[in-house]
Amino acid sequence: MDKIIIQGQAKLSGEVEISGAKNAVLPIMTATLLVNGVSKISQVPDLKDTRTMIKLLEIIGAKCDFINGNLKIDATSVDNPEAPYDLVKTMRASFYVLGPLLARFGYVKVSLPGGCAWGPRPVDYHLNALKKLGAKITLKSGYILAEAKRLKGANISFDFPSVGATGNIVMAAATALGITKISNAAKEPEIVQLCDYLNLMGANIKGIGTSKLVIEGVDLLKSADIKVIPDRIEAGTFLVAGALLGEITLKNVIPKHLDSMLSKLSDCGCDIASTETSITISPAKLLNPVDMTTDVYPGFATDLQAQWVALMTLAEGSSIITDNVYHDRFSHVPELNRFGANIKMKKNVALIRGVKELIGAPVMSTDIRASASLIVAGLAAKGETSVSRIYHIDRGYEKIEAKFRSLGANIMRKNT
């Protein structure tokens, strides 16, 4: 099992290039299953999750070529609309094949995704919406079987603006008969890009970027090419490192996607300068404590909550961090306390008292974003930190230790 070893408190400086967004490319990859043709996707990050999705698409019968960030998917010979448990259990996003395969083949068998490190992650919004579109849904030994000769447009309203459910339903509705209206749809940039991509393929989706989507089904879609948007969560992770360890510039970012975090970072006393495609951050002289509550976009992303907790452990005072999206997404807290942080949990609220210094320690990753928070804390801590189970970080960050090394960090990967 690989570990990441860090000698902490090295100053950071220079520029880092942000990769394409994991959470945009995964649904885009499944959308290619809707067409009998070849699709080309560029700026694809080389991650464990993108490689898992490629494996899944190939099991389903697509042909994939992935070289230097360019991914070609030929879905002409797709003939096996099934997503097996052993793949779906490693990556919940596999569930995104449900909508496109049902729309194209009228039948699909997808394993129910398990929970994850921080608790159950239901799919009831996906299934109830597909039923409204006319699908017959049965559950058989852990698999969802969905059938529908031709999906029919319907009015759908989500209790919560679920990213995954919005993605699955826009893909299913794109070729349904008639009009589908989704209220309380997700507005995350990754879902906006998925809708833009579907329209490039010939779909007719209106209201993109708002919580009300209107999809007029079309009979046929055609292949289209697209460049994946930059990863706002990777960018936010590097911004936290800059806030702690030195002035750095992020290239290939869309600052608007990080508005909520940028305003919190200036509340902390950091200097932020942005252009159309870059952000420069300089650390605060004294890091002010800033409370934060996660929310759906454009609120503060739950995927940046763990990184914010890490930052606040070194603030000059106390702060309160609440996760309203995932109430139990705090497996990073006991690990951060091993660095000498002072965090107490009350339900979905972290009560943090800033400390003068963190001391390096052996810690264990539990999920993608928790791992990122441990790496950032290790970079800021005095002495050596070793982060184990880093297969979690490799799911969602491309060459993370090389990128931090290029900024001056003393960080390396060790095969143990």
Question: Rule CB under 6 A: which residues touch ligand EPZ?
Answer: 22-23, 26, 92-93, 121-126, 160, 162-165, 302-303, 325-326, 368-369, 396
Q: Which residue's CB comes closest to ligand EPZ?
A: 164
Residue that has been written with the tokens 């003393």 in this structure: 410
Question: Between residues 74 and 188, which has the closer beta carbon with respect to ligand EPZ?
Answer: 188
Closer by beta carbon to ligand EPZ, 257 or else 354 = 257
CB of 347 to ligand EPZ, least distance (A): 14
d(C-alpha 120, C-alpha 204), whole Å: 34
β-bridge mates for residue 146, sequence order: 108, 137
Q: Backbone phi, then psi, for 281, in 5-degree steps?
A: -120, 135
Amino acid letter, residue 7: Q
Check if the beta carbon of residue 378 is closer than 8 Å to that of residue 360.
yes
- Beta-sheet strand order (sheet of 226-227): 63-67, 70-74, 38-42, 226-227
Catalytic status, residue 64:
no
Taking the complex as a whole, how short is the minimal distance between the CB of residue 288 and ligand EPZ, in angstroms?
27
Catalytic, out of 116, 195, 268, 270: 116
DSSP 94: G
* Min CB(269)–ligand EPZ separation in Å: 28
CA distance 272 to 276: 13
* Helical H segments across 246-299, by residue range: 259-267
Closest of 338, 331, 307 to residue 241, by C-alpha: 307
Nearest distance from C-beta of residue 82 to ligand EPZ, angstroms: 20
**Cβ-contact 382, 34 below 8 angstroms:** no
Nearer to ligand EPZ by Cβ, of 239 and 381: the residue is 239
Q: Please name the residues in contact with 67: beta carbons below 8 A apart, sequence gap of 6 or more.
A: none
What single DSSP character describes residue 351?
A: E
> Which tokens in the block code for residue 298?
């454009």
How many Cβ atoms are within 10 Å of 334's Cβ, its own excluded? 14
The one-letter amino acid code at 202 reads G
Nearer to ligand EPZ, 26 or 205 (CB): 26
| Minimum CB–partner distance for residue 153 and ligand EPZ (Å) | 20
For the bound state, the minimum distance from the C-beta of residue 62 to ligand EPZ, rounded and expressed in Å, comes to 19
- Taking the least distance from each CB to ligand EPZ, the nearer of 305 and 386 is 305
- With H, G, I as helix, E, B as strand and everything else as coil, classify residue 66: strand
Residue 293: Cβ-neighbour burial (10 angstroms; 0-12, 13-18, 19+): middle
CB of residue 226 to ligand EPZ, shortest distance in Å: 17
Asked if residues 4 and 213 have their Cβ atoms less than 8 Å apart, the reply is no
Q: Choose between 8 and 27: whose C-beta lies nearer to ligand EPZ.
A: 27
Smaller CB separation from ligand EPZ, 168 or 249 = 168
Point out the residues that are catalytic: 116
